[in-house]
């Protein structure tokens, strides 16, 4: 009976998280559609919309909104940041799927952008999403102070470029079929995946006008959440369902990817991920009850099946 109750609670929790993600995703999609509709309707709008709207969990946006709850920051002051982050994330996925990178033809259960629109359009749509992110942050209608906008632009640029996602991607590609140490892999994954999560939490701290120390705390925490997300991604590639994940699984080994799962083995990698999650939750304790929603998303990150 107790076991049944526990399973029912777990099922209800999962259902609630799915509902929450869907609600946030549709909010951000709506924002992006409105923003793009206010711009000139160029040939690239279609592949850009294909890459960024109506697909994906938009989990980074959920983390931003839930971190905002800790500091009582209204959604209005965070929506531009969410939309910008989703543009950067989708740009990175569009480029990552290209034949010169990971050469994947399926993304979010649909043909990748280059399969649907051709390679040149995918490169250009991806690049346009990257620049759109900065238009969204610097938009006059975004109701935050100009000096905070500049701070956010600076951080988003450094988390996206050679010291962030792009730099991490370069390492990921160079590490293929090479023997790398645990620290080298962690450093690569913290850049490739972690830096955008780092930005998500940092940006909320900037909007909330927090101290340098608190913003640094949020950056580090975000990066650790990103590493946890990457570990879950590696577990999904190994044991997940292609249908749920929306892309082929068991590709990391075929491509000779350097992952913690491969280096440590399944048991140690799961242990490492669980300890990482515990440490993240411990760090959040100082912020008390307001972290409830954020904690449920962090729990979901490791348990997710998609």
**What's the CA dihedral at 146, 223, 173, 159 to 10 degrees?**
10
Enclosing H/E stretch for 260: helix 260-264
245 token code pair:
């994940």
Figure out which of the listed residues 70, 165, 260, 294 binds ligand GRG, where binding follows CB under 6 A: 165
- Residue from 57, 191, 215, 257 binding ligand GRG (CB under 6 A): 57
Phi and psi at 121, nearest 5°, equal -65, -35
Total number of residues that touch ligand GRG (CB under 6 A): 16
230 binds ligand GRG (CB under 6 A): yes
Regarding 190 and contact with ligand GRG (CB under 6 A), the answer is no
Is there binding between residue 95 and ligand GRG (CB under 6 A)?
yes
Q: Which pair of tokens denotes residue 236?
A: 């999904």
Give the nearest distance from C-beta 243 to ligand GRG in angstroms: 14
Contact 284, 221 (CB under 8 A): yes
C-beta of 80 vs 169, nearer to ligand GRG: 169
Rule CB under 6 A: choose which of 96, 151, 223, 224 binds ligand GRG.
96
Cα separation, 39 vs 114, whole angstroms: 23
Which residue from 24, 62, 92, 198 is in contact with ligand GRG, where contact means CB under 6 A? 92
- Considering only 24, 113, 169, 291, the residue that binds ligand GRG (CB under 6 A) is 169
- Residue 76 CB neighbour total at 10 angstroms: 10
Determine the Cα–Cα distance for residues 106 and 43; give it in Å rounded to an integer.
23
Rounded Cα–Cα distance for residues 234 and 184 (Å):
16
Please give the residues from 34 up to 53 whose contact with ligand GRG meets the rule CB under 6 A. Answer: none
Which of these ranges, 5-13, 94-102, 150-158, 265-273, lies near ligand GRG under the rule CB under 6 A? 94-102
Residue 72 exposed, middle or buried by CB count within 10 Å (0-12, 13-18, 19+):
exposed
Residue 59 contacts ligand GRG per CB under 6 A: yes
With binding defined as CB under 6 A, does residue 28 bind ligand GRG? no
Out of 93, 129, 206, 218, the residue judged to bind ligand GRG by CB under 6 A? 93
Could you give the CA distance from residue 55 to residue 109 in angstroms, rounded to a whole number? 9
Question: Closest CB to ligand GRG among 195 and 215?
Answer: 195
Q: Binding residues for ligand GRG, per CB under 6 A?
A: 56-57, 59, 92-93, 95-96, 101, 108, 165-166, 169, 192-193, 230, 233
């Amino acid at each position: 009976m107790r076991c049944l109750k526990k399973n029912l609670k777990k099922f209800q929790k999962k259902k609630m998280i799915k509902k929450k993600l869907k609600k946030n995703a549709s909010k951000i999609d709506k924002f992006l559609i409105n923003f793009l509709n206010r711009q000139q309707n160029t040939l690239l709008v279609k592949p850009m919309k294909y890459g960024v709207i109506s697909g994906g969990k938009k989990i980074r946006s959920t983390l931003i909104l839930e971190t905002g709850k800790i500091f009582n920051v209204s959604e209005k002051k965070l929506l531009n940041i969410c939309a910008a982050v989703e543009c950067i994330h989708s740009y990175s996925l569009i480029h990552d799927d290209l034949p010169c990178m990971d050469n994947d033809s399926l993304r979010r259960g649909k043909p990748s952008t280059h399969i649907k629109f051709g390679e040149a359009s995918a490169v250009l749509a991806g690049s346009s999403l990257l620049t759109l992110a900065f238009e969204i942050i610097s938009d006059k209608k975004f109701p935050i102070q100009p000096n905070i906008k500049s701070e956010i632009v600076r951080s988003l640029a450094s988390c996206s470029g050679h010291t962030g996602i792009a730099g991490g991607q370069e390492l990921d590609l160079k590490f293929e079929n090479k023997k790398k140490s645990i620290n080298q892999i962690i450093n690569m994954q913290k850049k490739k995946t972690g830096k955008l999560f780092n930005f998500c939490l940092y940006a909320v701290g900037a909007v909330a006008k927090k101290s340098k120390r608190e913003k640094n705390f949020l950056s580090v925490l975000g990066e650790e959440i990103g590493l946890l997300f990457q570990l879950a991604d590696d577990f999904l590639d190994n044991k997940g369902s292609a249908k749920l994940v929306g892309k082929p699984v068991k590709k990391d080994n075929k491509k000779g990817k350097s992952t913690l799962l491969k280096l440590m083995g399944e048991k140690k990698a799961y242990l490492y991920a669980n300890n990482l999650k515990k440490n993240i939750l411990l760090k959040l304790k100082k912020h008390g009850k307001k972290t409830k929603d954020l904690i449920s998303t962090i729990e979901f990150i490791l348990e997710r099946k998609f």
